[in-house]
């Protein structure tokens, strides 16, 4: 009778969404590869989920016979060590919370779970999706088991940068000192409302896959790059303090310059790695030069670029600069086919470029090199989805057919 009732009720379920983040002081290198403990602290901006988000449903039922995972509708390996680490840690915390006592109302920790996760952006676009993915997995599992504590330490076990996606706005991942990693966690530096004029443009480039994944790449850097060691020991501690001040003061000049310098130093450590790793491409360098010409024309920092372990460029700007810079990008990389969908996300006004600006900044256009521009801004951390019709899993515990 109990089993029939449980089946009738269907599985226990929780759905959350989580954001992507982009680092302005980069994380590159681990001191502990198993616990994912970094060699330096890092700092990022959480991007708005209206444009980029992961949604994850976690379900548990006595009727499930094995743990299962679906990514964007396709079944994936639930045995992946990092997925398992997150699952294990959440279950451990749930067990600890219950203090060993038998809470009959609580969801049994022995039930198998089903997880379905999907992105509201094309995975092929090469936008950092593992950070949002693991932050979302941990948020949904925490809800399922009724955990209320701060869980960036658990998300970190999925992917280092994922711990920063557990908060909105401006987020620091402090490296911590302890060997067990209990002090290596994310802290919000300022909420997403702190700097209302700040905007983000993701230049999605017509892309190939990245040559070396960040997990493998950064370990080769740790083993071979003296510049990375210097960066972690000397440069980052100073820059982190500076960056916190620039954010506090909403100083775009300082923020933008430091973001560009830190992106460049990260890519310099990649070149200093042996054998070297190349994430920047001719197109990245083209975009970097364009940003510098644009800033030089205006006589101050109006736009700031940053690049991760892939070819897409992320540009920071203040709202009053967006329309003009988007037009500069459109002229510099004339869209091949999808001219109407070249700009996506938040609306962008139109801007007329002065002949002086065009002459100084738009040199040698490269048609079709930028696929589209995604206009977004800083946003909040993971959210609970209350509406049960939004669950990605049906009452049978299987992915709902997607429209």
Contact set with ligand DP6 (CB under 6 A): 23, 26-28, 36, 42, 130, 159-161, 214-215, 308-309
Task: Indicate the SS3 state at residue 109.
Answer: coil
The backbone region for 369, taken as left when phi is positive above 0, alpha when psi lies in -120 to 50, beta otherwise, is: alpha
Contact yes or no for 376/52 (Cβ under 8 A): yes
User: 198 or 218: whose CB is closer to ligand DP6?
Assistant: 218
User: 179 or 213: whose CB is closer to ligand DP6?
Assistant: 213
User: 11 or 378: whose CB is closer to ligand DP6?
Assistant: 378
Residue 397: CB minimum distance to ligand DP6, A? 29
User: 218 or 373: whose CB is closer to ligand DP6?
Assistant: 218
How far is CA 394 from its chain centroid? 28
State the Rg of the chain over Cα: 22
Residue 244: CB minimum distance to ligand DP6, A? 16
Rounded-to-integer distance, Cα 378 and Cα 196, Å: 8
Q: Which residues contact 82 (CB under 8 A, 6 or more apart)?
A: 134, 157, 158, 159
User: 32 or 75: whose CB is closer to ligand DP6?
Assistant: 32
What is the three-state SS of 12-72? Answer: EEEEEEEECEEEEECCCCEEECCCCEECCCEEEEEECCCCCEEEEEEEEECCCCCCEEEEC
Residue 328: CB minimum distance to ligand DP6, A? 26
Residue 28: CB minimum distance to ligand DP6, A? 6
Q: What residues does 23 pair with on adjacent strands?
A: 44
Residue 115: CB minimum distance to ligand DP6, A? 18
Residue 133: CB minimum distance to ligand DP6, A? 10
Bridge pairing between strands 30-32 and 37-38: antiparallel
User: 305 or 333: whose CB is closer to ligand DP6?
Assistant: 305
Rounded-to-integer distance, Cα 190 and Cα 169, Å: 6
Residue 53: CB minimum distance to ligand DP6, A? 17
User: 156 or 330: whose CB is closer to ligand DP6?
Assistant: 156
User: 117 or 321: whose CB is closer to ligand DP6?
Assistant: 117
Rounded-to-integer distance, Cα 238 and Cα 231, Å: 10
- Per DSSP, the residues of 78-101 read TT-HHHHHHHHHHHHHHHHHTTTS
């Amino acid at each position: 009778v109990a089993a029939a009732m449980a089946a009738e009720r269907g599985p226990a379920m929780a759905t959350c969404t989580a954001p992507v983040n982009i680092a302005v002081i980069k994380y590159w290198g681990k001191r502990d590869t198993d616990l994912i403990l970094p060699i330096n602290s890092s700092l990022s901006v959480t991007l708005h989920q209206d444009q980029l988000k992961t949604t994850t449903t976690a379900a548990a039922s006595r009727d499930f016979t094995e743990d299962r995972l679906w990514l964007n509708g396709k079944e994936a390996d639930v045995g992946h060590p990092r997925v398992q680490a997150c699952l294990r840690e959440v279950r451990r915390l749930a067990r600890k919370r219950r203090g060993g006592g038998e809470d009959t109302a609580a969801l049994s920790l022995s039930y198998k779970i089903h997880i379905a996760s999907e992105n509201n952006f094309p995975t092929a676009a090469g936008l950092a999706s593992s950070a949002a993915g693991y932050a979302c997995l941990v948020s949904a599992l925490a809800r399922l088991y009724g955990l209320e504590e701060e869980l960036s330490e658990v998300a970190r076990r999925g992917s280092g940068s994922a711990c920063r996606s557990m908060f909105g706005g401006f987020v620091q991942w402090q490296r911590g000192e302890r060997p067990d990693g209990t002090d290596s966690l994310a802290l919000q530096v300022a909420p997403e409302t702190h700097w209302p004029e700040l905007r983000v443009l993701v230049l999605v480039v017509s892309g190939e896959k990245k040559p070396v994944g960040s997990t493998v790449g950064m370990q080769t850097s740790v083993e071979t790059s003296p510049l990375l060691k210097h960066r972690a020991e000397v440069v980052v501690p100073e820059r982190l303090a500076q960056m916190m001040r620039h954010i506090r003061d909403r100083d775009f000049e300082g923020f933008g310059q430091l973001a560009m310098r830190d992106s460049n130093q990260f890519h310099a450590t990649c070149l200093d790695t042996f054998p070297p790793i190349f994430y920047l491409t001719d197109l990245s360098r083209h975009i970097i030069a364009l940003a510098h010409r644009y800033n030089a024309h205006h006589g101050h920092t109006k736009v700031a670029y940053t690049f991760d372990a892939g070819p897409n460029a992320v540009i920071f700007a203040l709202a009053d600069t967006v329309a003009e810079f988007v037009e500069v990008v459109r002229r510099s990389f004339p869209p091949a086919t999808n001219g109407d969908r070249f700009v996506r996300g938040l609306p962008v006004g139109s801007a007329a470029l002065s002949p002086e600006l065009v002459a100084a900044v738009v040199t040698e256009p490269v048609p079709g090199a930028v696929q589209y521009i995604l206009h977004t801004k800083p946003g909040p951390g993971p959210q609970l989805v209350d509406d049960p019709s939004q669950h990605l899993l049906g009452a049978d515990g299987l992915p709902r057919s997607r429209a």
